[in-house]
Amino acid sequence: MSKRVALILAGCGHLDGSEIRETISSLLALDQAGAQVTIFAPNQKQKDVMNHYDQTSQEQERNIFEEASRLARGDIHELKELTVDNFDALMIPGGFGVAKNLCTFAFEGSNSQVLPAIESIIQEFHQHRKPIGAVCIAPALIAKALEGRGISVTIGKHPETAKEIEKTGASHHSCEVSEIHVDENNKIVTSPAYMYDNADLKDVFKGISSCVQKMLEMAD
């Protein structure tokens, strides 16, 4: 029987939303594995809007849910509709929007706040022993939402970010872009992806695909 996976997005675009290549890689890997995927996003204003060509901030407002719907081809649900009992696993691709819109890690590091709805969902998946997959900067969100619970993750080899993650009580393990880190006890699987800025897409996909495969194996 195919596994049911909830995938949470934070907008559209690596500087202010969900990383597009990581999202598509996640969706492709899940599809190849035969998983049933439902996409969710919070319906609220995103923190900022970035020009992805020159990396400058734009004087405009955009909505996280509306932007994420671009990646979902319109087949998306508001985060408030996510019922953990309906799913076997949770997947969160990366992108700077995860650290801006779903939490404030981009601005406050280990002192950040997590969007309450996201925090509750992550904690409930963890409490019910349902596996969580997280890519790129998303492991920082998981570490903060599960602060003090002794989880282990990877965001690659970015020392400053790893240090902030470890301040939450999580342990960080260095990985190459195509690798994954598996926290068997907590059923959390993570992969660095574009935490390596100049990574080759094939290596990003290899890591994400391995992350998805292991996450689904851990699902009851």
* Strand pairing class (181-183; 188-191): antiparallel
How many alpha carbons lie under 13 Å from residue 105 in its C-beta half-sphere? 30
- 13-47 tens-digit pLDDT: 999 999 999 999 999 999 999 999 999 999 999 99
Give the whole-angstrom CA distance, residue 24 versus residue 41.
15
Task: Kindly tell me if the per-residue pLDDT of 220 is higher than 80.
Answer: no
57 pLDDT tier (thresholds 50, 70, 90): confident
- 177-219 tens-digit pLDDT: 999 999 999 999 999 999 999 999 999 999 999 999 999 999 9
Q: In terms of CATH, what superfamily is 4-218?
A: Class I glutamine amidotransferase (GATase) domain (3.40.50.880)
Task: Kindly tell me if the per-residue pLDDT of 1 is higher than 90.
Answer: no
Active-site residues, by number, are: 136
Give the whole-angstrom CA distance, residue 220 versus residue 206.
24
- 91-139 tens-digit pLDDT: 999 999 999 999 999 999 999 999 999 999 999 999 999 999 999 999 9
Kindly report the pTM of this predicted structure.
0.96
Residue 180's φ and ψ, nearest 5 degrees, are -130, 160
Task: Kindly tell me if the per-residue pLDDT of 54 is higher than 90.
Answer: no
